[in-house]
Amino acid sequence: MWNPIAIERMRACHLDDVMRIDRLCFSTPWERAVFHAELTNLASCYLVAKIADRIVGFGGETVLLGEAHISILAVSPEWRGQKIGERLLCALLEEALRRKAHYATLEVRQSNLIAQNLYAKYGFRPYTLRPHYYTDNAEHAIVMRLDAMDTPEYRAQLQQLRNQMPDTACRTY
């Protein structure tokens, strides 16, 4: 059975659930103070994905000087495979466009092919490699970049991808 997914702005009251998911998804989770700082940073946008009032994923970005940098995207392991990460990515890209971003960047583990494929679907391409970027195992990070996201062509592509999801409302915040 398909469950409706609501995307909304992350608030301090969400941090217990966000941190639980962060610990499940990443070997070097963020400190609570980092999330608190991002929630008060006017250049940042952090979102949560909810199913029936349960937080199942989250993501965040900072938009400065025309660049949207997606800093984190996570879905609780038991909820993966339901396009929750894709909905969060879509909402972050839409917000980046509202904030006048011209391009977007992110880092992804070299071994995380599922995430790389999702990012490629949305136009991100490998840009450079950051050797030994991850402190837990010295794995390389691939920096991926989405250029010319503020063009009518990309906006149409984003709309088309959004319309292909079962629930076309990527954002509800």
- Which entry of 86, 95, 107, 122 is annotated as an active-site residue? 107
Phi, psi of 165 (to 5 degrees): -75, 150
173 among known catalytic residues: no
Distance, CA of 36 to CA of 34 (rounded, Å): 5
Q: Can you tell me which residue has the tokens 């071994």?
A: 111
Which of 46, 86, 95, 119 is the catalytic position? 119
Inter-CA distances, 119 with 12, 61, 136, Å: 28, 14, 23
Catalytic annotation present for 103: no
Contacts by residues 130-139 (CB-CB < 8 Å, ≥ 24 positions apart): 133/107, 134/27, 134/28, 134/109, 135/28, 136/27, 136/28, 137/27, 139/109, 139/110, 139/111
Q: Which string of DSSP letters, residue by residue, matches 147-163?
A: --TTSHHHHHHHHHHHH
Q: Which two tokens stand for residue 61?
A: 């970005």
Q: Which residues are catalytic?
A: 107, 119
